[in-house]
Structure 1
Amino acid sequence: MNISLHGFKAVLFDAGDTLLTIPGARAILQRYLSERELHREQEPIGVLFDEAFRKFYYEKPSSGTELCSPESDRLFWAGIYAFVLNGLGIREQRAEETIHEWSHELYDLFTSPEQYELFEDVIESLERLKRSGLRLGIVSNFAPTLKAILRHKGILHYFDPVIVSTEVGLEKPNPAIFRLALEQAGLHAEETLYVGDHDKNDIWAPNQIGIRAVKIKRYAHMTGDGIVSLRELG
């Protein structure tokens, strides 16, 4: 499907699983454990990652009043990594304190710029949208490293504003984070389009303040209406 951008002045984007991804998450964790004399196959690692994301991220209860801090973000994701480690039976071989320490090390590892790759349509699409006169921005639930990641990938300069949950103290699906983006950009809701992958965070939340939102389905398991490439914008 193609999404007409006629009448819009700006397109705001989610970051993770919309613009960028960690393609080798299974291999990263497998290597991390192997370096600690713990050997696990990638398949069970992948199954546990999928279960953790579904259980704690995609099905996460939300009130629409979420706040955020660097500490709360770290604790949330460290909890996911602890879930995966425990599912792999690491608790039977290492102390609880070690699992806690490793979960936080994995948070640092998985939020470092080197692990990320842009989806193949990103740079050409950003160039095209920018040339058409659209303002581009980001509203993302992410660690404080997001701007460093975007800079490392060579795309930070495309975006203004860049609203990061851990920097502004608000977290999707709280609609207030989208109000803040509009205020910082001097935009009205009706002239702004938002693109993201999460039904509640990226579709429901911006809709609450009048921003039209489009779901991007980067993976085969994703359902519902939406686009599968940024090339479908415009």
Structure 2
Amino acid sequence: MMRKLLNHYKMVYFDASETLLTVPGAELVLQKFLSHRSLTRDATVINELFTEAFRLFYYSKQPEPFTACSPESDRMFWVNLYKYVLQKLGVDEAWSIDEVHDCCHELYDMYMAPEQYELFEDVRESLQLMQQMGLRLGIVSNFAPTLKEILRSKGILAFFDPVIVSTEVGLEKPDPAIFELAISRSGLSAEDLLYIGDHDLNDIWAPKQVGIDAIQILRYDHLKGKGIRSLRELFP
């Protein structure tokens, strides 16, 4: 059944983060960052605060009003998220406001660097299988301008054309306009496209507003909902 589903389309667009790639042990990265600055914090607590911050800043984000996206706005989103986590960790007892601010910017540069990312283990083989089926592949992602370099460093950039990055095109999910752009750049009709991503609003609701079918991928056991757990489920 899933094979017939894929064969119904001419092109598959993907989200990037938490769909194709991830930062493994993000809490350990921050723990090490803090320890180098003589601050000891528990990794489990850091992980819980990241989860809390993502829920508040990302998963609870309302669909409207839509605003323009830029490298600066993306940076500020993440700086504010990191600031929330650091303040919850009590770093403002040891650091000045300026030191917290500077560290948040340093964290942004660090977390957006290619060396922090790994592909999920099903990605490369799934992309190859889709390509063998004659499917075109693309990306629509809310991401820093480093995304293409990250994909290149992982050896998968060549699979995708186009790669639509929010900070490059000035649009970001869940604004359906970024999916209208995806339709335009594909040269196909909306019904010829399938989108796969992890976020119910950004990656399911938004593409459906312009007629693109979407499948949610749930990469972690704690995530609930209707979708797939692996890209391998798309194949017989």
Task: Provide the secondary structure at the position in 2 that maps to 1:120.
Answer: coil
Q: Deviations over 1:37-57 (max 9, x none)?
A: 111110110110010001110
Instruction: Give the 5 Å matches for 1:71-220.
Output: 71-220=72-221
How far apart in 1 are the matches of 2:195 and 2:65?
Answer: 17
Query: Deviations 1:36-95 (Å, cap 9, x if unpaired)?
Result: 111111011011001000111001122163320000000000100000100100011110
Alignment: residue pair count:
234
Normalising by structure 2, report the TM-score. Answer: 0.97
More displaced stretch, 141-150 vs 57-66: 57-66
Query: What are the ranges of 5 or more consecutive residues in structure 2 without an aligned counterpart?
Result: none
SS of residue in 2 equivalent to 1:224: coil
1:219 is matched by which residue type in structure 2? Y
SS of 2:6's equivalent? coil
Q: Please give the secondary structure, in 2, of the residue aligned with 1:40.
A: coil
C-alpha RMSD over aligned residues:
1.1
Q: Is the 8 A contact 1:2 1:227 kept in 2?
A: no
Structure 1 runs (4+) deviating above 4 angstroms are none
The answer to whether the 8 Å contact 1:69/1:165 transfers is yes
What's the CA shift for 1:185?
1.6
Partner secondary structure for residue 49 of structure 1: helix
TM-score with structure 1 setting the length = 0.98
SS of residue paired to 2:7: coil
Matched-pair contact (CA < 8 Å) for 1:64–1:173: no
- 1:78-134 deviation per Cα after TM superposition (whole angstroms, max 9, x unaligned): 100000100100011110110000001000000000000000000000000001000
Cα 1:64–1:162 change in 2 (3 A) is farther
Deviations 1:133-155 (A, max 9, x none): 00000000000000000000000
Q: Percent identity?
A: 60
Aligned to 2:67: 66
Q: Which runs of 5+ in 1 are unaligned?
A: none
